Structure 1
Amino acid sequence: MVVGAGNSAVQVAAELAQVARVSLASRAPVRFCPQRPLGRDLHFWLTLTGLDTAPLGRLQRRPATMAVIDDGRYRTALAAGRPERRPMFTAVDGLALTWADNTTEKVDTIILATGYRPDLDFLAPLAALDPTGRPLHRDGALLTHPRLAHVGLEWQRSLSSASLRGVGRDARRAARRIARELRSR
């Protein structure tokens, strides 16, 4: 059983389904985005249009979920039932899953590929947090402590903030902001 509906979950489940019986459980159906729209890689278009770096993070009340970037093989694998996509189970007891119809099923392995949501409550003594638990910041620097910064949060500044291609850009912005703060003291 692989749990999740994002890139990692679908990719892991599809690869495992080549050699084993695999189910993919998720709360919602898997959404797909083409890997190569108009013959070019999706990341080319995100860069060309500026969407990859556009400071849209401030506009996000709740970070948007991403579709699975697919060249066609994952959609094909799911359509063929390899892996089988199932609605989320309702309970887990060891390796026994309970489904919505109250039936149970034993599985050999459960792989959680559910992504992450930062749990930043420990910052509460230092930082004001928004309703979703994310620290209030400007370019990564905490509003309550401008010499303390973070990077890598989903939609911190842009679509790519939580990825390798975006975290460096956000880290440079945070470092410049902290340097300005230190010079002003």
Structure 2
Amino acid sequence: MTDRVDVVVVGGGQAGLAAGYHLRRQNLDFTVLDASPAPGGSWQHMWDSLHLFSPAEHSSLPGRLMPAQTGETYPDAGHVVDYLADYEKRYDLPVQHGTRVDAVRHDGDQLLVEADTGLWRARAVISATGIWSRPFLPAVPGRSAFAGRQLHTVNYRSPADFTGQRVVVVGGGNSGAQIAADLALDGQVEVTWVTQREPRFLADDIDGRALFDVATARRRALEEGRSDTGGVASLGDIVAVPPVRAARDAGLLVAKPMFTRLATNGVRWADGGHTVVDAVIWCTGFRPALAHLAPLNLRTAPGHIPTDGTRALGDERVHLLGYGDWTGPASATLIGVGRPARDAARQIKALCAPK
């Protein structure tokens, strides 16, 4: 049996829910297929100490302000999960959890969505699968020979898992700095933080509110044909959230240049030195989870589907939402995904209108 809808949204995290909100406002028939068994998207899997960069009122999806979390200026990940679950319920969004989409294929003037629970035919598809399910590990010499523990950002939970151990944290972005700070401030872990280049901290007074304003200003400049301001990347790589500031100011967050290779029991440095370590945490980023779109042959380069806003250039029926600035400025953030979700829904409404 094949279900028919106007739109299938693949992914039920923050981007998928924002898409659902705006599709409902356009009176389109849609379903949201989400591989996770429960609401909350990737926020369900964050490390214990993680907090947002912004206060609750500046971290909201369209139509519903995130309530403040008692005792916290910056809400933690659990609060975000509760907010997303409430958002899904409040707007009665048709999310089917525990449904993995394997492929999207051409089917005449429609698209055929193949999932592990059945088939859907749709006039358009919004891919909102994000990046969390595709952690990236660099090809560092000796990685397969290292006998200690290796894990990625997605597997990290708390310093308690490394008490009494020597840990190397790799990565000069927010996750690397925050996890290194989390371990260092615990006091029970010997931490070495390594980065490819000198860490670039944003000014201490910059949080998610300011970053969204910067991304918005860049979008407007580009739309008006003015010079590219560089956006958030021009300011730095690491938001100085309170734990990062505390560790940095205490001298606990000093990065070393990247090691040259892994040995059986540790890391080797460019000067020939060797440090014995028990674990390596790779905070080395992610790749977009786009394998389900492979049958449509939309890629022109490895890992990248060209878009105009959210719309795939190779097929106007396909929209990509929430993967980063290439699918809408700040679209990978809670507050930033609303505008590109609205634009995608409007374009799909026009596509579905009687000719």
> Equivalent of 2:340, from 150, 164, 170?
170
* CA displacement at 1:128 relative to structure 2: 4.2
> Equivalent of 1:33, from 202, 210, 216?
202
Which residue number in structure 2 is paired with residue 141 of structure 1?
311
Asked if residue 5 in structure 1 is aligned to residue 133 in structure 2, the reply is: no
Q: What are the equivalent positions in structure 2 for 1:110-125 lying under 5 Å apart?
A: 110-118=280-288, 120=290, 123=293
> Equivalent of 2:181, from 3, 10, 14?
14
Query: What is the TM-score of this pair, normalised by structure 1?
Result: 0.75
* CA displacement at 1:129 relative to structure 2: 3.5
- State percent identity of aligned pairs: 32
* CA displacement at 1:24 relative to structure 2: 0.9
Unaligned residue ranges in structure 2 (runs of 5+): 1-167
Asked if residue 106 in structure 1 is aligned to residue 272 in structure 2, the reply is: no
> Equivalent of 1:47, from 171, 192, 213?
213
Q: Residue deviations 1:47-79, cap 9 Å, x none?
A: 38942754759x79xx94852122676356336
Asked if residue 24 in structure 1 is aligned to residue 193 in structure 2, the reply is: yes
Change (3 A) 1:81 1:35: closer
How far, CA to CA, are the matches of 2:204 and 2:311 in structure 1?
Answer: 34
Change (3 A) 1:137 1:54: same
* CA displacement at 1:114 relative to structure 2: 2.0
* CA displacement at 1:3 relative to structure 2: 1.0
Query: What is the TM-score of this pair, normalised by structure 2?
Result: 0.43
Q: Residue deviations 1:75-112, cap 9 Å, x none?
A: 56336541331111122245522221233322122111
* CA displacement at 1:135 relative to structure 2: 0.9
Which deviates further from its counterpart, 123-132 or 160-169?
A: 123-132
Give the letter aligned to residue 34 of structure 1. A
* CA displacement at 1:127 relative to structure 2: 4.5
* CA displacement at 1:167 relative to structure 2: 2.2
* CA displacement at 1:32 relative to structure 2: 1.3
| Contact map agreement 1:141 1:150 (CA 8 A) in 2 | yes
Which residue number in structure 1 is paired with residue 296 of structure 2?
126
Which has the higher Rg, Structure 1 or Structure 2? 2
Supply the RMSD in Å over aligned alpha carbons.
3.5
* CA displacement at 1:178 relative to structure 2: 1.9
